[in-house]
């Protein structure tokens, strides 16, 4: 659950290193005719689905321990991608429910008294449902307002609970970096395409860090479709060629976090802290049995 270097493949980085994200070809490749731009498809809870799991983040206090655990496993050695945060556990300063929202706050502070402190100059939180809830297929909807500030790297994402990365698959419902706050990414990672070769897309959401938006994923045996506010912006299809391309026939758990800095977050502006991601709800729907 630490495959953050996986997120190196974004259209953002692809643009910086030509061909670095696969499929783009070299600079000398002939230019294909531009594909027609399809109209955005509507994304909504499919008919016949029912709510199977949710958190509305009420009442005020720490997150519900029946639903969320804290991933702190790499604090001592440092997290992937040269990220600079220390992830705390059950600490309201970094994760608490307030006015019906889960507030994840990244701060500039050193928890040097903590036994697992690895020298990090910032604190944050990484909440996971691992060991508590996981799903195979479903419609996932998360209403969130992202942090504003250069150096932040929030994510709403999922990892396969059975097996190693990338074979077990990764589904990035929402990623954003504070240096380009209006660009929101969705990406998949598999054995057939991970890290620099993950498959994904970015969409402009002008007020992503000042207003709530709904980040969605419709995961079926045939495809995973990602969307924002009811509009699809990326689809990853099951090619029918097996696990390497489609590991998404096994359970995944959910992760909510703010990373700070690192290879994708980039240089950190210390004037931004504290910064927060607010999550109004997480709702998971599945087909009625
Ligand atoms: Ca709520």
Q: Yes or no: is domain 49-287 CATH 2.40.37.20?
A: no
Spatial separation of the C-alpha atoms in residues 54 and 126, rounded to whole Å: 18
Ordered DSSP codes for 129-168: -TTT--BSSEEEEEEEE---STTEEEEEEEEESSS-TTTT
Ligand 1 centre distance from Cα of residue 278 (Å): 10
CA 64 to ligand 1 center in whole angstroms: 13
80 CA from centroid of ligand 1 (Å): 31
User: How far is ligand 1, taken at its centre, from the CA of residue 192, in Å?
Assistant: 37
Q: Is 41 a catalytic residue?
A: no
The Å distance, Cα 114 to ligand 1 centre, comes to 31
Boundaries of every domain in the chain: 1-31, 49-287
Is residue 170 among the annotated active site residues?
yes
CA of 55 to the centre of ligand 1 (A): 7
Determine if the pTM surpasses 0.85: yes
Decide: 225 and 235 in contact? Cβ < 8 Å: yes
- Choice among 83, 170, 180, 278 that is catalytic: 170
Distances in Å between the Cα of 218 and the Cα atoms of 56, 135, 247, 265 are 20, 12, 16, 27
Nearest residue to 236 (alpha-carbon basis) of 244, 228, 246: 246
CA distance 60 to 280: 13
Report the alpha-carbon distance of residue 157 to residue 224 in Å, rounded: 13
pLDDT of residue 9: 35
Of the candidates 164, 175, 180, 278, the residue annotated as catalytic is 175
Walk along the chain (289 residues) and give the pLDDT tens digit of each residue: 334 443 333 333 333 333 333 333 333 445 566 665 555 689 999 999 999 999 999 999 999 999 999 999 999 999 999 999 999 999 999 999 999 999 999 999 999 999 999 999 999 999 999 999 999 999 999 999 999 999 999 999 999 999 999 999 999 999 999 999 999 999 999 999 998 899 999 999 999 999 999 999 999 999 999 999 999 999 999 999 999 999 999 999 999 999 999 999 999 999 999 999 999 999 999 999 7
How close is the Cα of 101 to the center of ligand 1, in Å? 5
- List the shell of residues around ion ligand 1, using CB closer than 5 Å: 56-57, 100, 280-281
């Amino acid at each position: 659950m630490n495959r953050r270097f996986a997120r190196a493949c974004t259209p953002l980085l692809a643009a910086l290193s030509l061909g670095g994200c696969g499929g783009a070809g070299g600079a000398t490749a002939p230019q294909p005719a531009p594909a027609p731009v399809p109209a955005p498809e509507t994304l909504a809870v499919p008919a016949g689905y029912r709510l199977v799991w949710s958190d509305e983040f009420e009442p005020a206090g720490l997150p519900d321990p029946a639903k969320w655990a804290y991933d702190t496993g790499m604090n001592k050695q440092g997290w992937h991608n040269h990220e600079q945060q220390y992830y705390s556990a059950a600490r309201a300063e970094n994760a608490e429910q307030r006015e019906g929202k889960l507030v994840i706050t990244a701060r500039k502070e050193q928890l040097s008294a903590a036994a697992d402190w690895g020298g990090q100059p910032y604190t944050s939180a990484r909440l996971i449902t691992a060991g508590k809830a996981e799903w195979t297929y479903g419609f996932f909807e998360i209403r969130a307002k992202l942090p504003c500030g250069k150096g932040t790297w929030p994510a709403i994402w999922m990892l396969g609970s059975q097996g190693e990365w990338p074979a077990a698959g990764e589904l990035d419902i929402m990623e954003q970096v504070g240096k380009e706050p209006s660009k929101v990414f969705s990406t998949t990672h598999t054995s057939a395409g991970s890290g620099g070769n993950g498959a994904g897309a970015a969409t402009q959401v002008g007020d992503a860090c000042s207003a709530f938006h709904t980040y969605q994923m419709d995961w079926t045996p045939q495809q995973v479709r990602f969307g924002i506010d009811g509009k699809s912006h990326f689809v990853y299809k099951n090619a029918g060629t097996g696990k390497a391309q489609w590991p998404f026939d096994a359970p995944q758990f959910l992760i909510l976090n703010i990373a700070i800095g690192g290879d994708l977050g980039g240089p950190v502006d210390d004037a931004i802290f504290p910064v927060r991601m607010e999550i109004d709800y997480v709702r998971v729907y599945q087909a009625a049995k």
